[in-house]
Amino acid sequence: MKNFNLTKYSKPLILLVFIIVLTILRPSTFLTVSNFANVLWSISVIGIMVCGTIFVFLIGGIDLSIATLCGFCAVVTVKTITYFHNSTGGVFAGILAALAVGAAAGCLHGIVITRFHIPAFLVTFATQSIFLGLSMIVTSNKIISCTEPAAFTAIGAKKILGFPLPIYLMILIAALAWYVLRKTEFGRYIYAVGGNATAAEISGINVRRSTVLCYVFSGLTTALGGVILASMTQQAMASTGSGYTNDVITAGVIGGVSLLGGEGTVLGAMFGAVLMGLLNNGLNLMSVPSTHAGLVKGLVIIIAVGFDALQHTDQARKKVKKIVKKEA
Amino acid sequence: MKQMKQSTLRRLISIAMLVVLIILFSALAGTKFLNANNFIEIVRDTSVVAIVGVGVTYAIITAGIDLSTGSIMAVVGMTMANIYAYTLWPIPIMILLGLIVGVLCGLFNGYIIGKIGIPEFIGTLATMTIFRAVTYIIAVKDANGVIMSQPMNISTYAVLGYAIGPFYFVVLAMIFFVVAGQILLKYTRLGTNIYAVGANKKAAALSGIDVAKTRMIVYTIVGLCAAVGSVFTTARLQSATTAIGDGFEFNPIAAAVVGGVALSGGSGDVVGMLIGALFMATLESGVQKLDMNNAYQYVIKGVIIILVVMFDAAYKNRMDRAAKEQGAKEGME
């Protein structure tokens, strides 16, 4: 019995408890296919973004610019589409432009962080302000709506087999990220860099290039998230995506991704995103005002992370005690 | 001795950067920026950031961070607003209760970080949303249940937002906090422990420092500092709203880091943070005085922060290399 590791199964357990509680509380509205499609649709943007930013978390970095970069990419997409007179070709140009901006931003982050050894926290804190300013300049601080062409609105809303397209995109991106992290050499490099950058460097891994690539991935998924968000809302403005930085980081953290690097899986991060979605959905169904929902969300983070943390600290304390005893 | 010289040099560079910034904006904006009133305003704007920054500096020196300061300010402000709206208790009691709530918020942070062991970034990110939600829950509501901003303009409280001569009370409070904070950090057992915990937690624990307790005290101090910041903020605004401190949490962190407090822990001090806070307030004021569109202000602010940090990092790398070479030379001899 002592070997039974509760924390190992804590994630599926938490999810199960959640679903059961919500089912009991709201039996007619919660446990329906359309509601689950709804939950997945609502987390698809966070889900896609966390698949890219997990690379950054894994190498021990952080990206505070997710929200404003997402907004800037949304603005770029919509601006490009309107520039091409809402043609279908313009949609492709818009998506490409957004992805290019995202990749360039990621590249900038990566290069500044690795070349000058600046904490990622600071660099992305500064660029967050820059992206916000750029969005405001491009939009002249107005809402730009874009309801045409159909190819654009389809990205966020088109349903295939009853599920909207972003859900499939999320699954595709998650599968890609999983493959890269689990099955490729590069994936192993990332865990190595996150575990111990110096050791990774000495064993021949190009830490600098890996780091830059991780930030590029993060930029790309953030850009894709921006495109989808713009399509879902059929508009873009400077404040598009605000609040997403916390949501994405929270999703990762609930899913067991360590912000210190080297620990975490795509599956875990997706679990975190789904839990967040269920949480929002459940609170919504129980008509808890969104301003109060933070209380529950925060407590869930503390409980989810606290379980893991308590075990770690217990082990650490025992270790110190052992050493002290030996000395004595 | 060598260490001492380096930190003095670092301090001089910080001050030099501040002077350069002032000269730059004076050249660009002229007397609109370069006048006594504006400088008094800049120092006033610095004050709340620096008061909260004292606690945040401690947290960063222990290799931690506190993202919940803005939300603690909101809870404290709303607590006082409730007492103000629904009781006839004297103002000092109201302030005291506000400070106690701030300390309790900080203690909660300290408990989940120090005792349970939740990483600082995540723990305070969680409490940031929790405290903000609590603010909404306890917010003063009008007859229809709609959240309203509670005016707090009774003269015995609003006086805290005033000035004697050129000195606002908040500036005097800041001076007190910075001096006391620096002394606590440099000349007491607690201060030494804070540096030790930040430099190497394991080593600190093995040499008999109660790491958990030290971290708990640090986050409690942050709570107290945020509460004091909230008192002065609400006194200046003469009202309390649910939006107090929204997005504020990054200001003291940025001030500390620009002032040379390393996010990796173990180095920096309160005076450095104060210079950083002055730098950020000067930047904010200067960019505003350029009469540019809001949007450009964001871009310029971001670019200047990156440049400053890049310069700082390049300088630090150079010093590290020089120290290593020095060490190698001494080793050879």
Q: How confident is the prediction along chain B (333 residues), in pLDDT tens digits per residue?
A: 445 566 777 788 888 888 988 998 888 888 888 888 888 889 998 999 999 999 999 999 999 999 999 999 999 999 999 999 888 889 999 999 999 999 999 999 999 999 888 888 889 989 999 999 999 999 888 777 778 788 887 877 887 888 777 788 899 999 999 999 999 999 999 999 999 999 998 899 999 999 999 999 999 999 999 999 999 999 998 888 888 888 888 889 989 988 888 888 888 899 999 999 999 899 888 888 887 777 888 888 888 888 888 887 787 778 778 877 887 777 776
Q: What is the mean pLDDT of residues A132-140?
A: 90
User: For residue B318, is it within any domain?
Assistant: no
Report angle CA B226, B228, B229 to the nearest 5 degrees. Answer: 60
Q: Summarize pLDDT for A225-253 with one digit per residue, the tens.
A: 999 999 988 888 888 888 888 889 888 88
- B294 to chain A, any CB pair closer than 8 A? The answer is yes
How high is the pLDDT of residue A303?
Answer: 84
User: For residue B92, is it within any domain?
Assistant: yes
How is residue B300 written in tokens? Answer: 């310029």
Asked whether the bond before B166 is cis by omega within 30 degrees of 0, the reply is no
Contacts of B295 in chain A (CB under 8 A): 133-137, 141, 238
- Residue A150's φ and ψ, nearest 5 degrees, are -65, -30
**How many angstroms separate the CA of residue A238 from the nearest CA in chain B?**
10
Residue A269's nearest CA partner among A173, A164, A163, A156 is: A173
User: For residue B261, is it within any domain?
Assistant: yes
**C-alpha distances out from residue B157 to B40, B153, B237, B239, Å:** 22, 7, 11, 10
How is residue B253 written in tokens? Answer: 């962190």
- Structural domain boundaries, residue B243: 51-271
SS3 category, A145: strand
**Which of A5-36 are b and which e, b meaning 16 or more Cβ less than 10 Å from the residue's Cβ?**
eeeeeebeebeeebeeebeeeeeeebeeeebb
Q: What is the mean pLDDT of residues A190-197?
A: 88
Of B126, B298, B302, the CB nearest to A298: B126
Q: Do A309 and B293 touch (CB under 8 A)?
A: no
**How many angstroms separate the CA of residue B168 from the nearest CA in chain A?**
30
How is residue B302 written in tokens? Answer: 């971001």
The predicted complex's ipTM stands at 0.80
How high is the pLDDT of residue A174?
Answer: 94
> Dihedral of CA B276/B281/B282/B286: which sign?
positive
- By DSSP bridging, strand A235-236 and strand A163-164 are unpaired
User: For residue B285, is it within any domain?
Assistant: no
How high is the pLDDT of residue A2?
Answer: 45
**How many angstroms separate the CA of residue B156 from the nearest CA in chain A?**
32
| Number of independent structural domains in chain B | 1
Determine contact, residues B275/B59, Cβ cutoff 8 Å.
no
Q: Summarize pLDDT for A52-100 with one digit per residue, the tens.
A: 999 999 998 889 899 999 999 999 999 999 888 888 888 899 999 999 9
Contacts of B132 in chain A (CB under 8 A): 294
Q: Do A126 and B127 touch (CB under 8 A)?
A: no
Q: Would you give the distance in Å from CA B75 to the centre of its chain?
A: 17
How high is the pLDDT of residue B2?
Answer: 47
Chain B residues 244-283 with CB within 8 Å of chain A:
250, 254, 257, 263-264
Q: Do A119 and B132 touch (CB under 8 A)?
A: no
Contacts of A250 in chain B (CB under 8 A): 125
User: Residue A118: is it exposed, middle or buried by C-beta count within 10 angstroms (0-12/13-18/19+)?
Assistant: buried
Q: Please list, in sequence order, all residues whose beta carbon lies within 8 angstroms of the beta carbon of residue A64, skipping any fewer than 6 positions away.
A: A121, A124, A125, A128, A245
Q: Please list, in sequence order, all residues whose beta carbon lies within 8 angstroms of the beta carbon of residue B202, skipping any fewer than 6 positions away.
A: A320
User: For residue B5, is it within any domain?
Assistant: no
Q: Residue A32 is which amino acid?
A: T
- B1 to chain A, any CB pair closer than 8 A? The answer is no
Fold of A7-314: ABC transporter involved in vitamin B12 uptake, BtuC (1.10.3470)
Q: Summarize pLDDT for A269-325 with one digit per residue, the tens.
A: 998 888 888 888 888 888 888 788 888 888 888 887 887 777 777 777 777 777 777
- Residue B150's φ and ψ, nearest 5 degrees, are -90, 115
**A to B CB pairs, distance under 8 Å:** 141
> How far is it, in rounded angstroms, from Cα B64 to Cα B59?
5
**C-alpha distances out from residue B61 to A113, A198, B58, B250, Å:** 21, 23, 5, 16
User: For residue B40, is it within any domain?
Assistant: no
Pick among B78, B121, B129, B300 to test the A interface (most A CBs inside 10 A):
B129
**C-alpha distances out from residue A89 to A74, A77, A152, Å:** 17, 12, 10
pLDDT at A6 over 60: no
Contacts of A305 in chain B (CB under 8 A): 118-119, 122-123, 126
User: For residue B101, is it within any domain?
Assistant: yes
Of A19-23, A103-107, B208-212, least confident by mean pLDDT is A19-23
* DSSP H or E stretch at residue B163: strand B163-164
Of A189-193, A215-219, B52-56, B217-221, least confident by mean pLDDT is A189-193
Residue B61's nearest CA partner among B234, B217, B227 is: B217
pLDDT at A149 over 90: no
How high is the pLDDT of residue B156?
Answer: 78
> How far is it, in rounded angstroms, from Cα B281 to Cα A47?
37
User: For residue B327, is it within any domain?
Assistant: no
